[in-house]
Structures are given as C-alpha cells and as structure tokens.
Amino acid sequence: MILWAFVTVLCVARTAHSRIEQPEKVMIVELGNSVTLRCISCNNNIFWYKQVAGQQPRVISAFQKLSEPIFYNKYKNERFWGKRLSCSTNLTISDIIQSDEAVYYCASREFYTEFGNGTHLKIKGHQAAAYKNSNLDHLNSSIKCRQKFNENSTTEMCNYL
Ligand SMILES: *[C@@H]1O[C@H](CO)[C@@H](O)[C@H](O)[C@H]1NC(C)=O
Ligand SMILES: *[C@@H]1O[C@H](CO)[C@@H](O)[C@H](O)[C@H]1NC(C)=O
Ligand SMILES: *[C@@H]1O[C@H](CO)[C@@H](O)[C@H](O)[C@H]1NC(C)=O
Ligand SMILES: *[C@@H]1O[C@H](CO)[C@@H](O)[C@H](O)[C@H]1NC(C)=O
C-alpha cells in the first residue's frame, strides 16, 4: 500500500515536470531559405502543430521515440522534414514561402495534449517593409530639419538631430 502510494506520487511528480521547451520564441527567416524549429521534451509522443492567427492549430507531424516521423495532409511534401533524437525533436521547413508565417507549437500527448510556448516564425519580407517605413520617417525628419534650420544644411548634419 505504501509502495503503491509512493509510486503514484512519483508518477504525478513526473507528469507535472514534463516540460516542453521551445527555446526560440521568435525566428525570422527570408523567403526561400530554410529554418529549423527546436523542441525539447523527453515524452514519447511529440507533435508539431501550426497555428495561423485566428485559426485552429493544425497538426503537421508526429514523432515517436523509436520510429520515423509521420507527416500529415499537405505537410507530406519535401519542404517539411523532421528528426528526433531522444529528447530533441526538430522540424525543418525549407524553401520558405509567405504562408509559412505562423506560430509553431510543439506538443506532447500522454493522457492529454500539452503544448509548448510556441515559436513565432516570421518572414523577413515584413521586416523589410517596416524598415523601408523607418527610412521614410528618417528622410522626412531630415527634410523637416532642413526646412527648420537652413535649406543648405547637409543631410549628414540633420541625421544627427
Ligand atoms: C512558458 O511561458 C511561461 C510564461 O512566460 C513560463 O513561465 C514558462 O516557463 C514557459 N515554459 C517553458 C517550457 O519555457
Ligand atoms: C536540432 O537542431 C539543433 C540545432 O539547430 C541541433 O543542435 C540538434 O542536434 C538537432 N536535433 C536533432 C534531433 O537533429
Ligand atoms: C512626413 O511629415 C509630414 C508632416 O509632419 C507627415 O504628414 C507625413 O505623414 C510624414 N511622412 C512620413 C512618410 O512619415
Ligand atoms: C543656400 O545656397 C544658395 C546657393 O548655394 C545661396 O544663394 C543661399 O543664400 C543659401 N541659403 C542660405 C540660407 O544660406
């Protein structure tokens, strides 16, 4: 009886500690490049899910400790592959396209499904747009600077204002 209780407590403690770590919160990748999403969990059944903002998470693939990964639906193509070595499960997406932008969740299923905190995959095109805007802002402020002070003052001078 005491042994049984001990084993139960041990099992509960172990379940409570089953962490699913996704070390990267955000990854930024350029169109056409590839990216490897990392998940660290020692649980047996590991899944990767993709969630596009405002939609339900969709399963990409399943990994068991001792078998080849299974890819589902449209993820059954050469752009997606994965590898598991004991507690490390990687999902690699190559030839990145715009619609790959999403949050990718690693999950484990024992008695119920538990999720990691997710990795937000961002496509660099969006960053470039933001950068262009900030360049415009910059240009604008140096124009304003010249209007304010002296039409002949150099851009270099205004850049530091
Ligand atoms: C997930 O995020 C929460 C809140 O930021 C944090 O407390 C927790 O440690 C994170 N989990 C892992 C496995 O990184
Ligand atoms: C996953 O990728 C990381 C670095 O990107 C590497 O250190 C690790 O060994 C990889 N794990 C597997 C199972 O391939
Ligand atoms: C430049 O400044 C003007 C006046 O302050 C503003 O109306 C305009 O939106 C600015 N343009 C950009 C690209 O920031
Ligand atoms: C700016 O330069 C022009 C020609 O180089 C000159 O005629 C004008 O007086 C200058 N303006 C000021 C405010 O220095």
149: CA distance to ligand 4 center in Å? 12
Q: Which pLDDT tens digit goes with each residue over 109-137? A: 988 999 999 999 999 875 444 444 555 55
Residue 33 contacts residue 122 (beta carbons within 8 Å): no
Q: Whose CA is nearest to atom 14 of ligand 4?
A: 152
Q: Where are the domains of the chain?
A: 17-124, 126-159
Backbone angles phi, psi at 98, to 5 degrees: -55, -40
33: CA distance to ligand 2 center in Å? 17
Give the CATH superfamily of 17-124. Answer: Immunoglobulins (2.60.40.10)
Q: Which pLDDT tens digit goes with each residue over 55-96? A: 999 999 999 988 889 999 999 999 999 999 999 999 999 999
Of the residues 140, 144, 146, 158, which should be mutated to test ligand 3's pocket, given the most ligand atoms within 8 Å of the CB? 140
Q: Which of 134, 138, 114 is nearest to 47 (CA)?
A: 114
Residue 158, both tokens:
């205004």
Average predicted confidence (pLDDT) for the chain: 80
137: CA distance to ligand 3 center in Å? 7
